[in-house]
Amino acid sequence: MKLKYFLMSLFLLFLSHINFNSLQAQELDTLFNQLNRTQIDFMIIKDPFIKFSIEGRSDDTLYFRLKKLSIKYLVFDICKNTRNEIQVFDTKHIIAIYHDTTRDYLDLNMGRSSDVYTFVFNNRNYYCIIAGGTGLFNSGSFQRTRFFILIDVTDKKNVLFYEIWTRNRSIFSIGDFNNDGVLDFLQLTGDLEDGPTKIIPHTIVNDKLVPMLKDEKEYYIIIKERENGKIEIIEKRWF
């Protein structure tokens, strides 16, 4: 009987943790939407990945291909010191290749559970992949990290890739937060359950995502989570 109550308690604790995380995600979505100056219609691509094999490759190497899109992911065994690779195709011809710069921290092996979106901003066409974070030893810190990979496919002769890490998976991290017509990204730098954490806005400069600066100082917002799960801004240097 004691075991039964113990297991029930664990189950209820698990459900409360799920509900708490869900509330936190909703709160972040709301905050990011309030900060955004431009509405962007994000369209999620359902079940985007198909697993496939390539002749001559070993069985312990995984490959995933986006359904109905000309983008392919080659996912290599990180223990063999290989690199993840994204290939963009125009029909059957490769027009761009991207190698992740995160070494073993970007986990495209989670491809089947990753989120993929498409959207248009300022007449430019993007895909966004939100991939899981991991490490060789699967530490909790890496597992909570998310990598956003933005692919600008507006010009097939010049496909652009942008990669940035954050500690949440909200697609509303993407927007135009200073109303200058340039795509921006909000990077959450820590876990709210660990205490106050900083949001740093990034923007595209010379085809790279870089922190926004004023007088050589970063813009930022520091937020904390209340006991009821609501998010409060406690300090900011904003636009």
Question: Is there a domain that residue 108 lies in?
Answer: yes
Question: Is there a domain that residue 4 lies in?
Answer: no
What domain range is 97 assigned to? 27-237
Q: How far apart are CA 48 and CA 110, in angstroms?
A: 12
Per-residue pLDDT of the chain (239 residues; tens, 9 = 90+): 555 444 444 433 333 343 335 777 899 999 999 999 999 999 998 877 766 666 666 554 555 667 666 676 655 544 445 556 677 877 667 777 777 655 444 555 445 457 889 999 999 999 998 877 655 444 555 567 788 989 898 988 888 989 888 998 899 999 999 999 999 999 999 988 889 999 999 999 998 999 999 888 999 999 999 888 889 999 999 99
CB of 50 closer than 8 Å to CB of 67: yes
Question: Is there a domain that residue 205 lies in?
Answer: yes
Question: Is there a domain that residue 10 lies in?
Answer: no
Q: How far apart are CA 211 and CA 237, in angstroms?
A: 13
Q: What does pTM read for this prediction?
A: 0.80
Question: Is there a domain that residue 37 lies in?
Answer: yes
Question: Is there a domain that residue 9 lies in?
Answer: no
Task: Specify the pLDDT at position 54.
Answer: 62
Task: Specify the pLDDT at position 144.
Answer: 72
Question: Is there a domain that residue 212 lies in?
Answer: yes
**CB neighbour class for 68 (10 Å; exposed up to 12, middle 13-18, buried from 19):** exposed
Query: Burial letters for 84-123: b for 16+ Cβ neighbours within 10 Å, e otherwise?
Result: bbbebeeeeeebbebebebebbbbbbbbeebbbbbbebee
Question: Is there a domain that residue 1 lies in?
Answer: no
Kindly list the distances between the CA atom of residue 80 and the CA atoms of 72, 90, 104, 134, 209, in Å, as whole numbers in the listed order. Answer: 21, 30, 10, 16, 29
Task: Specify the pLDDT at position 133.
Answer: 60
Count of domains observed in the chain: 1
User: Cα angle at 211 between 22 and 147, to 5 degrees?
Assistant: 40
- Selection from 56, 169, 162, 76 nearest residue 114 by Cα: 169
